[in-house]
């Protein structure tokens, strides 16, 4: 693996995991089967991220809009989420992975909320990797929520000055740095309401590979692409 490691790695990788349904359709399977295999990709990409020493990984798992999917599919997704949390906790503990959730967790059942809390608490001392899962997440709602909280604190006199630094403190995960690198699988060329504030200067990489097929080899190729890029943050390169 050492020979394949890029010379320069991002600090924070964010991934829009797209294509589970299409993967299942291409194989003439139920959509749920795509989600099940997609969980295997989550495990592999998380493991490779930890092995590479990348400290932050954020995965877009379930958007606020996804609640409008067919009831049976949503029910199965919730069951898979609960199973994932149960089975992956030992893996997280063994590998020093700290679990985090961003999004409107109050939308989930009390049982799942309890699982979120348990895994977050159990992994809170882990330091090798912060794995954030975006659940019932909406970038626009996150921004509106932050603005509402800021307005309330400003009215109470808690804050005097509102700037970008202040605003960041009111996001779901203020301590986590903005993503350096955003990967989207399945070839779609859009952000899908993901981390709209945080990706202002993020390098974006789109691959046609569907999420269940996105494994170590494809991930390393994406990271090599990142290593070849020059990040200017709006500045002009001097020749």
Question: Any idea what the Cα angle at residue 171 is, between residues 166 and 177, rounded to 5°?
Answer: 85
Q: How many CA atoms lie within 13 A of 111 on its CB side?
A: 7
Distances (CA, A) of 30 to 35, 56, 201, 237: 9, 32, 38, 50
Is-contact 2 44, C-beta < 8 A? no
Helix (H) or strand (E) run with residue 102 in it: strand 97-102
Q: Does the annotation mark 18 as catalytic?
A: yes
Question: What DSSP character marks residue 225?
Answer: H
The first and second tokens of residue 195, run together, are 């981390």
- What is the C-alpha to C-alpha distance for residues 211 and 28, in angstroms, rounded to an integer? 16
Q: How many CB atoms lie within 10 A of CB 232?
A: 9
Burial tier of 161 (Cβ tally within 10 Å: 0-12, 13-18, 19+)? exposed
Sign of CA dihedral 174, 176, 178, 181: negative
List 66, 95, 128, 193, catalytic entry: 66
Q: Is 163 a catalytic residue?
A: no
d(C-alpha 41, C-alpha 23), whole Å: 13
Q: Enumerate the β-bridge partners of residue 102.
A: 134
Active site residues: 18, 66
């Amino acid at each position: 693996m050492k020979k394949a490691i890029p010379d320069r790695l991002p600090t924070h990788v964010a991934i829009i995991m797209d294509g589970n349904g299409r993967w299942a359709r291409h194989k003439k399977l139920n959509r749920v089967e795509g989600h099940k295999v997609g969980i295997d990709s989550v495990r592999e990409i998380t493991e490779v991220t930890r092995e590479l020493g990348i400290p932050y990984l954020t995965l877009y798992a379930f958007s606020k809009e996804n609640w409008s999917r067919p009831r049976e599919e949503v029910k199965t997704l919730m069951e898979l989420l609960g199973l994932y949390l149960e089975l992956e906790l030992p893996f997280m503990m063994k590998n020093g992975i700290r679990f985090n959730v961003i999004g409107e967790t109050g939308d989930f059942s009390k049982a799942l909320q309890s699982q979120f809390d348990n895994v977050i608490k159990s992994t809170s001392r882990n330091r090798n990797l912060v794995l954030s899962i975006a659940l019932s997440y909406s970038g626009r709602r996150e921004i509106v929520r932050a603005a509402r909280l800021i307005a309330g604190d400003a009215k109470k006199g808690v804050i005097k000055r509102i700037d970008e630094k202040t605003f960041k403190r009111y996001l779901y995960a203020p301590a986590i740095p903005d993503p350096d690198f955003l990967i989207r699988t399945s070839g779609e060329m859009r952000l899908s309401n993901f981390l709209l504030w945080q990706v202002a200067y993020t390098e974006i990489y789109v691959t046609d590979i569907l999420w269940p097929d996105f494994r170590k080899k494809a991930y390393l190729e994406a990271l090599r692409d990142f290593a070849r890029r020059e990040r200017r943050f709006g500045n002009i390169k001097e020749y």
